[in-house]
Structure formats: structure tokens, C-alpha cells
Structure 1
Amino acid sequence: MEYSEVIENWKIFAEAVRNMGGEVQVLSYDVPATEDEVKTLEVKLGFDLPLKLKEVLLGFSKKVEFRWFMPDDFEFQGELSQIFCGERHWSLDWIAQFNEDKNGWRDEVFPNKEDPYDLVWHHKLAFHEVGNGDYLAIDLSIPGQEQVVYLSHDDGEGHGVPLAKDFKEFVCSSSRLGCVGAEDWQWLPFIEKGAPFINPDCENAKKFREALKVKI
């Protein structure tokens, strides 16, 4: 998928939400990052960025914000009933702070690498602050792999669940779901039983787009 198609998907969902009486608070995307800007962030973090994250920052945008809310009197049906918003954000200027905050949770609350729950918080690069203490992050624990995973601070069902094989795939696949809300209960309906990652072509994804009258 081309980045232009990602942007077009965002715009289509934004228009659909407005047509349903919802609110689009922001839809903006900055110019790509420069090599020097990426290097500055890497120096601040103390390690190289994952390849696919770097690819998106350099080839697409160094800062993105997309946030929408459905009207209060609207409710999706069935397994989609807890969806109420969509959000996607990342920025060169925020990643270091997100990781400092994430590391605070890790060191104070989840320090035990021998505990399977705690371990999920280790060797991760947070790029999206959910706002409830949770994070979307890239798994750095396995060389050559860059899965996007969910970090829950309170036993959320999505804790440690991989959403995509890498950051670029996450950007592309989630664009076909309008960047549905980052809380795990909003995106879990799009992960089929026994399958890895969000599937933008699963039955719930089709129902979601049908409800919004989106055809992509």
C-alpha cells in the first residue's frame, strides 16, 4: 500500500464519521523526517530505531495526528459495541518522552523479567500513548522482528498481543479500519481467533465499514 492510499483512507473515514454526526478533532500529517532528525532521536534513545519505523518516518511523515469520535447516540452492534473513537499519533518529538514514561511504569511496576506479565514491558519502543496508562509499542526483543504489540498496565485482555508484523504494516492495515481506538477492547474484535495481527478484511472489519458506509 502506498502512503497516499493511507492518507486517502484516513480522509474517507473522517468524512464518514462527520456524516454520522461524529467529530473529527484532528487529521494532520507533517513532512518526512530528515536523516539528521532521525539520528538525533536515536542518540537520545541510545539505540537505532526499528527499520520499518525509520522507513515510515523518512518516507512518509515525522508527525501524524488523527482523532475522531462517534456521536453519543450511536452504538456499533455485536462485538463492535465498545468502539467509540479512532486515533493514530506518532512524532519524532514524542517518542523519547513516551519511552521515558513507559520505562517509568516498567521500572516501578513491572521490573521482574521472570514474570511473564512484567516481561512484556521490557525491550519495547513505545510510539503511541493510549492515554490510560497503556502503550502501543514495537517489540525489540527478537533481532530481525519488529512486531507492534500492546502494553497494558492493568491486566487488559490485549496485553502482549501483536497487532502487526511491523510498524509500516500497522500503519497500512489500521488505515483500513479508520485507525480504530487504541484501547485493546476497540481493536481486539479485528483479530480472528488463532490468527496473528489485525485483519482489515475479517468479518468484523467488513461490518465496521458497512456501519460507517465506507467502501475501501
Structure 2
Amino acid sequence: MEDIQFLISKWKEILHKLEKNNGKVCQMEIGEAATLQEIEAKEKEVGCPLPPSYKYIVHNIGKSLSFYYSFSEDTMIPSEFREIFSGEIHWNIDFLKNLTIADDLLEDGEDDGRTLRGKLEFSHAGNGDVYAFDMSVDREEKPVIYWDHEEDTITYIADSFIDYLLKMTELGCIGSEKWQFEYFLSDSGLDTASPAAVRWKQWFETFSETTLEDVKNNMEQLTAFVVYREKLDEETITLLQKFNKNELFQFLLNELHKDGAFKDQKLLCEMIGRVLGQNAETWVSSIWEAKPDYMDTRLRSYLTSMCISKDKGLPLVINFLEQESNNKITGYDALSHLGHFYSGDVISWMENHVKFPVTEGWDELFIRSNFSWDDLKRWTSLEEKHEATAIRALEKYVHEKAANNTCSYVIAGLPAKSECIEFLVKLRNKQVLKKRILPIEKVIQNIDLFY
């Protein structure tokens, strides 16, 4: 068999590359080499000969080996490989296990685990799935398979243990869970020559951590950076505002038209809303008439709140909500469409639509709509559903204030502290349910957060 010591140097190169790019790295740990006597003893223990390439490796490298890495959050992995985030290799001869679980389950009259019959486990993935040798195959070298414990399915990975190590190494030792390496699977196992594998290897060979400094002067790269990191902050907004607004707008529109995940489109819309604002008003108005398939209605409502004046935009969204739901509006729907208007007009609209359970979006929408002291007094004097919403909103407001000292929202029209406490005590005293009394108590105890 070929000299496999080069694998160790290759693995060290991979770990060094990740470390150099601020990835998280658990360095390689190699156990002592297994003696021939230890290998023979293990074969007797598991009741079958071990595959030749496995025996060769534990005898010439070590009876155990492990390492792990994960990419830095600033490493922009290509979107087509978005599920890949880490890499690892590990085995331990002491953990070899003849999988008899299938026979045990079959005796109980169950089918789960039937696919594990004749398999010899040598490693496992982080999610509990199993790597094993298929000992039922009639040849000296045994193929490596992957067992999905949730689906009870077997996936063919490689023709042998050495084939498995070589192919995984060629791919950068990408993560052990199937959903990380399935981009490169074919009917005959890992295919390191497939078009997808070639693209991945080319990227992996040259990748480096990306920083805001690296992309700040390139509109396309900066946009991709925002989408990849799922974060649009004030610093990034300032940088985006330096580009030509028309060019940025057209680029973001083109990106929106591409097939992509909702969270990617959400960030693109956030860039349009927060960077371009009313400069995109004409286009946002047009999508209410065109109703494009690529645009989620929640994103259209968000853009309306950011790019169209409230007196024009809010009625559009409210009319849509009422017509679309036939007036059976849920709190979650109301929140997702109206939560970015931050308007007291939304609270007025809510009075006729709020319903139990108020915790499913209505209480959050009440807070988001910048409720005033008058709103609180009015809602606590209306129906039970209104009062319950106001109490939950007060509790959440206190929690957010306590957790975020930079929270600048102040309840408009707040009276003197003594008057506020008197109001809350009366509100508490008229409650019957403990789940409403306790939140009010918490608000009273934290009344200083209001001032």
C-alpha cells in the first residue's frame, strides 16, 4: 500500500490555512500506532477481520486520530455550498462496534435499524449519524457507508477506508454530517471530479477571510458581504450610501430577481429600504400593481414602510391584510406586515382586530408601534383582549429596557412616577389571573426603567 504519511502533512496544511484565516481549530491528536497483536485482539472482539486499509492506517499512523475546524464567520463560502461550515476527521480503534442493534430491534418486531445489519461502526458524525464498514460485501476491502439515524437510510461513501480518507482530504476534510458533503455525492460515493467538487476545490485552495475593509470599495462584494453575514449595520449603510444610488438600486433589483432564500431577499430589501429609502418610492409603488412572483408580500410591506410616506403606504398594507385574510388576521401576520411602521395609527387599527392569544404577535406589534401612555390607559379600559395585550406589552418593554441600556424608546405622555405607580397598582388589583398579576408586579418593581 502507498505511503499514507503524506495525509498528516496535508491535514496540517488545511488546519494551518483555517487558523491563518481566523477559523476555529482543534489541532490534530494522534494516538500510538496499533500493534499487530492489538489489531488481532480487536478482530476477535468484533468477530470479523478488519478491512486491510483500516488495519494498515491504524498500524502505520495511529489507532486514534482526531481534528476539527470551523470557518470564521467572515469567510464568505460560496452560496451554492452554504451548508458547509466545518471540517473534521476522526477515528478510534477502541470505538469499533459491530452494529447488532438491527437484530435487537427485529426481535422486538420493529423495522428501525434493519439497514445496520452487517455493518461495523468506526466513527460518527456530530449529529449522531454513523460511519461504518459494510461487512456484508464479499471482498476483502469493505466499503464505507453513512447511516442517517433519523431516516434509517444508508449512503455509499467510498470503496474503502483509504479511499474515504483520500477523497475527504481532497475536499478539505469538510464536515462529517451528510448535509455538508452531499454536494459531492454520486451513486458511487464521493465524486471529487464532479463539476461541483471542482468548483469547491478551486475555492478552498484560494479562500481567505473577508473583512469589511476588503470589500468597502466594491459595491457587489460589499452587498454579498452583507447578505452572507446577515447583518446590515450603520457602518455598512454609510459605505453603501457612497455608491451611485441608481447603480446600487439596479444592482439590488437584479439580485432580488435571482432565485434565493427568503433571508437573502430580506437583506436585499433592507438595503433598499435603509440605504435608498424614498429614492425607491416609484418602484415600490409599482410592485403593488405588478405583484411580482419573486417578491414575498411581507417584504413588499417592509419596503412600503421604508420607502413610501406613511399616509400613502400604511393604507396599502392594511387594505391588503384585511382583504387577503378576509378579516381573520393573525397576530403574526399583523406583526410581519405592520411591525416596521412604528406608528400609533397601527395601534388604532389593532383595536378592531386584536384577538387571543395576544402573545402570538399582537403584544410585540403594540410595542413596535410606539405605544403612548394614553394608549395604555385606553387599552386597559377596553375588552379583556386589549388589556391582556397592554399588560404583555408592558412586561416586554421592561424586559427590553433592562436587557438593552441603549434602547431609546420612551413612552410618550408618561406622567409623574407616583401617578404611573398608582395606575399600575390599580391595574394589578383588578386582575384575577396570576399570569397577569406577576407581570404587573415586575413592571412596578422596575418602574425606574421608564424614566
Instruction: Give the alignment's Cα RMSD to 1 decimal.
Output: 2.7
Letter of the 1:3 counterpart: I
> What is the alpha-carbon distance in structure 2 between the residues aligned to residue 112 and residue 79 of structure 1?
43
Match of 1:206 among 198, 205, 226: 198
Residue 61 of structure 1 and its aligned partner are, at CA, apart by: 2.2
Larger % of strand: which? 1
CA-to-aligned-CA distance 1:71-128 (integer Å, 9 cap, x gap): 2343522431101111111112222xxx26x544x3566779996x743211101111
Residue 141 of structure 1 and its aligned partner are, at CA, apart by: 0.9
Letter of the 2:91 counterpart: W
Q: For residues 85-104 of structure 1, what are the structure 2 equivalents within 5 Å?
A: 85-95=86-96, 99=97, 103-104=100-101
Report the 3-state secondary structure (helix = DSSP H, G, I; strand = E; otherwise coil) of the residue aligned with 1:8: helix
Letter of the 2:123 counterpart: H
TM-score by length of 1: 0.82
Query: Structure 1 residues 22 and 39 mapped into 2: Cα distance closer, same or farther (>3 Å)?
Result: same
Q: Does 1:65 align with 2:66?
A: yes
Percent identical across equivalent pairs?
25
> Which segments of 5 or more consecutive residues in structure 2 lack a partner in the other structure?
208-451
Letter of the 2:175 counterpart: G
Q: For residues 1-216 of structure 1, what are the structure 2 equivalents within 5 Å?
A: 2-95=3-96, 99=97, 103-104=100-101, 106-107=102-103, 118-144=113-139, 145-155=141-151, 159-192=153-186, 195-213=187-205
Letter of the 1:119 counterpart: R
> What is the alpha-carbon distance in structure 1 between the residues aligned to residue 151 and residue 48 of structure 2?
29
Larger % of helix: which? 2
Letter of the 1:131 counterpart: G
Residues 111 and 118 of structure 1 are in contact (CA less than 8 Å); yes or no, is this contact kept in structure 2? no
Query: Structure 1 residues 176 and 43 mapped into 2: Cα distance closer, same or farther (>3 Å)?
Result: same
> What is the alpha-carbon distance in structure 1 between the residues aligned to residue 65 and residue 10 of structure 2?
14
Larger Cα-atom Rg: 2
> What is the alpha-carbon distance in structure 1 between the residues aligned to residue 41 and residue 29 of structure 2?
23
> What is the alpha-carbon distance in structure 1 between the residues aligned to residue 26 and residue 38 of structure 2?
28
Residues 119 and 133 of structure 2 are in contact (CA less than 8 Å); yes or no, is this contact kept in structure 1? yes
Query: Structure 1 residues 109 and 179 mapped into 2: Cα distance closer, same or farther (>3 Å)?
Result: farther
Report the 3-state secondary structure (helix = DSSP H, G, I; strand = E; otherwise coil) of the residue aligned with 1:163: strand
> Which segments of 5 or more consecutive residues in structure 1 lack a partner in the other structure?
none
RCO higher in structure (CA 8 A, sep ≥6): 1
TM-score by length of 2: 0.42
Matched pairs, number: 205
> What is the alpha-carbon distance in structure 1 between the residues aligned to residue 110 and residue 117 of structure 2?
11
Letter of the 1:14 counterpart: L
Residue 32 of structure 1 and its aligned partner are, at CA, apart by: 2.5
Query: Structure 1 residues 111 and 21 mapped into 2: Cα distance closer, same or farther (>3 Å)?
Result: farther
Residues 103 and 117 of structure 2 are in contact (CA less than 8 Å); yes or no, is this contact kept in structure 1? no
